[in-house]
């Protein structure tokens, strides 16, 4: 009887840990252009059941691009940016570090490898998009939106 009770408690603890969402899940971040330092959009992260994260644009902060992005190329040209999923396949690798993702820049239509690190206080997310080698990429610091 005691073994059964302890086993059930142990299984309950393990299953509750499995359901614990990633710290990025459900959070919103203001994206900041790395060249102009101006805010571009707000993205929201969501986690799939297998622990993979994605992020989509939930608010467009660039004047004139909320309806249709005229500066965008490819499939995003003259299309609304609201709801576009720009981050896919991001995985938590421990210690607030994420890797293995892809990020799409709607302005040029290109997709890049993507990794990120959340600050210890959870207020900033430093992301890096790159092709091939991370050292040859671009970095942005996103600010958490409450």
**Residue 83 resides in a domain:** yes
Q: Which CATH number fits the domain that encloses residue 34?
A: 2.40.128.520
Whole domain around residue 127: which residue ranges? Answer: 22-145
**Residue 63 resides in a domain:** yes
Cα–Cα distance measured from residue 135 to residue 11, given in angstroms and rounded to the nearest whole number: 44
Number of domains forming the structure of the chain: 1
Please answer whether residues 139 and 27 qualify as being in contact, where contact means their C-beta atoms are separated by less than 8 angstroms: no
**Residue 50 resides in a domain:** yes
**Residue 2 resides in a domain:** no
**Residue 141 resides in a domain:** yes
**Residue 13 resides in a domain:** no
**Residue 12 resides in a domain:** no
Report pLDDT digits (tens) over 45-101: 999 989 999 999 999 998 878 788 888 888 888 888 999 999 999 999 999 999 999
**Residue 14 resides in a domain:** no
Please answer whether residues 84 and 76 qualify as being in contact, where contact means their C-beta atoms are separated by less than 8 angstroms: yes
Report pLDDT digits (tens) over 95-139: 999 999 999 998 888 999 999 999 999 999 999 999 988 888 999
């Amino acid at each position: 009887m005691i073994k059964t009770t302890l086993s059930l408690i142990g299984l309950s603890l393990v299953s509750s840990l499995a359901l614990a969402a990633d710290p990025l899940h459900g959070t919103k971040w203001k994206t900041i252009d790395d060249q102009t330092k101006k805010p571009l959009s707000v993205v929201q992260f969501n986690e799939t059941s297998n622990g993979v994260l994605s992020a989509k644009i939930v608010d467009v902060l660039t004047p004139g691009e909320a309806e249709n992005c005229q500066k965008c190329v490819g499939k995003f040209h003259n299309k609304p940016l609201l709801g576009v999923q720009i981050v896919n396949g991001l995985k938590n690798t421990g210690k607030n570090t994420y890797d293995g993702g892809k990020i799409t820049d709607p302005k040029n239509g290109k997709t890049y490898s993507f990794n990120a690190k959340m600050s210890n206080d959870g207020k900033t997310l430093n992301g890096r998009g790159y092709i091939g080698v991370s050292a040859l990429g671009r970095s942005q610091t996103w600010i958490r939106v409450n």
